[in-house]
Amino acid sequence: MDPIRYLPTYDGCFCCGQGNPAGLERRFRREGGKVVAELPAGPRQQGFPGRVHGGILATVLDEAMGWVLACEERWMCVTVKIEIAYRKPVEVGGIYRIEAWAADTPRRRLWRAHGRIVDETGAVFVESEGLYAPIPDEAMAGVDRVLRYGEDVERVFGERGPTSPS
């Protein structure tokens, strides 16, 4: 079995940053055509008693959808719009799986992705769809300087071309 290769992180990021003491510290990885991560739902993510706050769920889905598109296009993007459908309450104390995959929109001005949060049985708790825009060329030039890489981290942008994918 191949070792797990994670996606890079940025220390200050609320969702993936390993250096943000208030953050979620999620480690995302690619599995086939998806970006995935685990979400151990603890009391720090609680909104209503016993339930994970909906904003936390939207955050992890937004991050996963943005990363799957960045991996697919080899270019970082920003959120334009996300839609979230909360199907079932996500309970504190459970372990859930975040999944995101790109829609069939390569090389368009806006990119589209889908995501969901499931439990170990595959039951769907939250679904999402998002639109993302590629960042400008000048912003992309500095992306790799702020991302954290290590032995277990995939270099997503190393083979990208010199100009934006638009």
Q: What is the pLDDT of residue 164?
A: 54
* 64 neighbors 28 (Cβ within 8 angstroms): yes
The per-residue pLDDT string of the chain (166 residues; one tens digit each, 9 = 90 and over) reads: 677 899 999 999 999 999 899 999 999 999 999 999 999 999 999 999 999 999 999 999 999 999 999 999 999 999 999 999 999 999 999 999 999 999 976 567 899 999 999 999 999 999 999 999 999 989 998 888 889 998 899 999 865 444 555 5
Q: What is the pLDDT of residue 81?
A: 97
Q: What is the pLDDT of residue 142?
A: 86
Q: What is the pLDDT of residue 106?
A: 59
What are the structural domain ranges in the chain? 29-146
For the domain with range 29-146, which CATH number is right: 1.10.357.10, 3.30.930.10, 3.10.129.10, 2.115.10.20? Answer: 3.10.129.10
